Amino acid sequence: MNVPAPTGARRGGTVRDARINMSHGSGGKAMRALIEDVFVSAFDNPMLGALEDQARIPLADLATHGDRLAFTTDTYVVDPLFFPGGDIGTLAVAGTVNDLAMCGARPLFLSCGMVLEEGLDVDILRRVVASMKRVADQAGVAIVTGDTKVVERGAADKLFVNTAGIGVVPQGVAISANRARPGDVVIVNGVLGDHGTAILIARNQLALEADVSSDCQPLDGLVATMLAVCPSIHCLRDATRGGIATVLNEFAQSSNVGIRIREDALPLREEVKGACEILGLDPLYLANEGKLVAVVAATDADRVLTAMRAHPAGAAAVVIGEVTERPTGMVVLHTVFGGERIVDMLVGEQLPRIC
Amino acid sequence: MKYVDEFRDPVKARVLLGEIRKLSAAISRNRTRPLQIMEVCGGHTHSIFRYGIQQMLPDEVEFVHGPGCPVCVLPMGRVDDCVALAERPEVIFTTFGDAMRVPGSRKSLLKAKADGADVRMVYSPLDALAIARKHPDREVIFFGLGFETTMPSTAMTVIEARKQGVRNFSLFCNHITIIPTIKAILDSPDLHLDGFLGPGHVSMVIGTTTYDFITRHYHKPITIAGFEPLDVLHALWMVLKQIDDGRCEVENQYGRVVPAHGNPNALAAIHEVYELREFFEWRGLGSIDHSGVRLRESYAAFDAERKFEVPNIRIADPKACQCGEVLKGVIKPHQCKVFGTACTPETPLGSLMVSTEGACAAYYNYGRTDMPLVGVDAGG
């Protein structure tokens, strides 16, 4: 992991410390042991195992999957590191896999960059790495290169992860936020706001208890299923920070169309609704980590829905609205009560109301 | 969701809307201008916009969005005072979330936090007290904000702090009271209100009998209302019915929460801890006599204004800003000269644009499609 590996390097270093210290980032033996013991052994693939400064990927192999490379990166700083339904490791792999999948790409290779705070329990790191491996296997991607830095106590909060990812887009697939057309339908793959609610509750600032887990999951398999029945999906995005409200606004603005959604069609758990009622939050803006918003032609809707529902990540897929000509660049919600309101982009963080 | 969905039933809403339409048509036969009903409380404003209630109403009835959003009526100078307190190195400044973005003349608390001040968002004043116990070497100040709804909880926290002997906790008290404010609005000469939806949660504390002066002296009907959309419609129907019947009473639509005499424990806590200030400065409305409270002498040790040097900065509202006229219902938010241009939720000039309960932010966020607006494609 960016350590020059002398030919015939001795393998099998072991980390004996219970906590990360500055020597684990020094480039010396302690760092080497950390990399081999924690990362290489867990991620377990020949490209990483070669211990070169970079992974070398045969172009011919890539070309068998399609005609364009998709390349993305994301950094994960979630607090707390562990929460119901996942941890920073599951997020770091699923998040980057999903960013690739949203253009229809088949995700193939990931990098893993870590910033570790001095004093971090090595066991915590091992748990995070194990989660990364589990989700990577689930998504069929390999973590083939990486980097580790250790910073002094207080210079980072426990553990930050960056993952970059490479995937290949199949020929003929042209998903884009600017392809929504009036008459298209808007589909989501299941209940909304679980991740945001789970994190709020896990932070334990609210003295709220509810049985909500993060929806963190890779979506590449679901997208492949959708593309198999409908190669001409118009728009596709995962609704992470900013929730589906943000994604829908991005579609409306890029495509210069209006989007109308129905509040009574939004799939929401009672627990999520309740937390939002108590805190004055709007579930449309809550983060998800395993939810996508798709825009497809009305004639394709039934086929796509049937395919989605047959996949575990899309079992609760539903149509939530449609694309209209007007109001251009705006999202309008038809409320359960029978009125209408605009759903705008958030200005900043959602702040709870005082009374 | 149980006890919530029942109050959002679209079928019942249609029935009520039909009755409201009949009543307003009957009342409006002899009138030249629409009926103006003020919802005093920001919580109502939020519901009206969140559920799109205004568009469902007949043209003869319009809501005027009153001053009952405590964040909205906070003058810039008070935010500057907060920032000055927060920037003291020994201080941990704690606040409810929605006060974070309110602009001061120099900066908001959010900006002060980014610049290094220790500002923490809490969900209850008791959380602030817990922070004080955890950090005995720091001074923890809680920014007390809001009407009678939030007053009892800060009062109880101060009482608790004294009981526990927590000496590093204090309250920067900016609580305001509803009655003098309604009175000031009723006294303003450019007002044409026909009736009120009374605040629900304030009334849960202070009761309903305190509103008698509105009917006796000003001859305006008032109905205390709950916050679910059916509550709002039902209360509106009740006010219109009063007007149509020629009655003028204090009615209580929110009986499931609001008792006639309020909550005696909450009132006792308020009385124990606070006394009226001679006047308090409001954003957009100016100085209103006896409209704010401060800590009593007996709780001076917990009063941030006595404990620290508060600069007491007074900043005039920006000239272009017409928050006051909006608050009194003289103009609608989008009729303000700077609405949607110089003043947007991203760069709020007036505080009505800051909180989601502020009339301007609500118009901007939820209602733009059906109003003419510079700079935004309203889609015709």
Tell whether A141 is covered by a domain.
yes
DSSP tag of B316: P
Given A169, A186, A215, the domain boundary residue is: A169
| Residue A1 domain-assigned (yes or no) | no
| Predicted confidence (pLDDT) at residue A6 exceeds the cutoff of 50 | no
Q: What is the pLDDT of residues A184-221, one digit of tens each?
A: 999 999 999 999 999 988 887 666 778 899 999 999 99
| Interface with B, mutate which of A208, A253, A341, A346 (most B CBs under 10 A) | A341
- Test mutation, B47, B54, B123, chain A, max A CBs within 10 A: B123
Cis link prior to B318 (omega < 30° from 0)?
no
Cβ contact, residue pair A205, B127, below 8 Å = yes
Determine whether the interchain pair A335/B55 forms a contact, defined as Cβ–Cβ distance below 8 Å. Answer: no
Whole domain around residue A303: which residue ranges?
177-342
Rounded Cα distance, A55 and A143, in Å = 10
Of the residues A169, A192, A219, the one at which a domain ends:
A169
- Least confident window among A137-151, B119-133, B174-188: B174-188
The reply to whether A239 and A161 lie within a common domain is no
Q: What is the phi/psi pair of residue B327, to 5°?
A: -60, -35
What is the percent of chain B with per-residue pLDDT over 90, rounded to a whole number? 64
Give pLDDT tens digits for A36-93: 999 999 999 999 999 899 999 999 999 999 999 999 999 999 999 999 999 999 999 9
Hey, which residues 222-241 in chain B have their CB within 8 Å of chain A? 229
Domain match, A220 and A142 both: no
Chain B residues 288-347 within an 8 A CB cutoff of chain A: 345-346
A249 with A202: CB under 8 angstroms?
no
User: CA-to-CA distance for A105 and A92, rounded, in angstroms?
Assistant: 18
Of A119, A148, A169, the one marking the end of a domain is A169
Residues A164 and A255 in one domain: no
What are the chain A neighbours of B357 within 8 Å (beta carbons)?
353
For residues B320 and B269, the model is more confident at B269
Q: Closest chain B residue to A204 measured between Cα atoms? A: B123
Both A95 and A112 in one domain: the answer is yes
Instruction: Please name each of the domains of chain B with its CATH number.
Output: 5-69+180-252 (3.40.50.11750), 76-176+292-307 (3.40.50.11740), 323-365 (no CATH)
**Whether residue A145 is found in the same domain as residue A88:** yes
Residue A277: what pLDDT? 86
Please answer yes or no on whether A332 and B369 come within 8 Å at the CB atom.
Answer: yes
Amino acid in the structure at residue B25: A
Which pLDDT band holds residue B338 (cuts at 50, 70, 90)? very high
ipTM of the complex in this document: 0.81
Task: Give the model's pLDDT for residue B102.
Answer: 85
Q: Which of A336, A341, A355 sits opposite B366 (nearest CB)?
A: A341
Is residue A229, in this structure, part of any structural domain at all?
yes
Give the pLDDT band (50/70/90) at residue B283: confident
Query: In the predicted model, what is the mean pLDDT of residues A131-138?
Result: 98
CB contact under 8 A, B13 and A353: no
CA of B212, closest CA in chain A: separation in Å? 25
Q: Tell me the torsion sign for CA atoms B335, B338, B343, B348.
A: negative
Residue-level pLDDT at A351:
65
Based on the domain organization, do A46 and A69 belong to the same domain? Answer: yes
Amino acid occupying residue A81 = L
For residue A118, pLDDT beyond 50? yes
Read off the CATH number of the domain in which A104 is found. Answer: 3.30.1330.10
- Three-state DSSP class for A315? coil
pLDDT in tens, B4-48: 888 999 999 999 999 999 999 999 998 888 999 999 998 898 899
**What is d(CA B262, CA B202) in angstroms, rounded to the nearest whole number?**
9
Residue at A15 is within a domain: no
Judge: B96–A352 Cβ closer than 8 Å, yes or no: yes
Same domain, A252 and A140: no
Same domain? A338 vs A195: yes
Report if residue A58 sits inside a domain. no
Test A339 with B98 for CB contact under 8 angstroms: no
Of B1, B13, B100, the CB nearest to A270: B1
Average pLDDT of every residue of chain A? 92
How far off is chain B from A111, nearest CA to CA, in Å? 32
By the 8 A CB rule, do A27 and A18 touch? no
CB pairs under 8 A between A and B: 107
Tens-digit pLDDT profile for residues A225-279: 999 999 999 999 999 999 999 999 999 999 999 999 999 999 999 999 998 888 8
**Are the C-beta atoms of B183 and B153 separated by less than 8 Å?**
no
The dihedral of CA B311, B316, B322, B325: what is its sign? positive
* Per-residue model confidence as pLDDT tens digits over B231-250: 999 999 999 999 999 999 99
Query: B195-209 pLDDT, tens per residue?
Result: 999 999 999 999 999
**Residue B375 pLDDT more than 60?**
no
Range among A325-334, B62-71, B337-346 with highest mean pLDDT value: A325-334
SS3 B92: strand
A277 and A196 together in one domain: yes
| Position A186 in a domain | yes
Radius of gyration of chain A, Cα coordinates, nearest whole angstrom: 22
Task: Judge if A75 and A97 occupy the same domain.
Answer: yes
Angle, vertex CA B210, rays to CA B205 and CA B214, nearest 5: 135
| A110 and A258 together in one domain | no
What's the pLDDT score for residue A279? 81
Residue, of B121 and B68, whose pLDDT is higher: B121
| Residue A20 belongs to some domain of the structure | no
Share of chain A above pLDDT 90, in %: 83
Can you give the CATH number for the domain in which A300 is found? 3.90.650.10
According to the model, what pLDDT value does residue A8 have? 38
With CA atoms as reference, the chain A residue closest to B229 would be A337
Residue A237 counted as domain residue: yes
Domain count, chain A: 2
Q: Are residues A207 and A159 in the same domain?
A: no
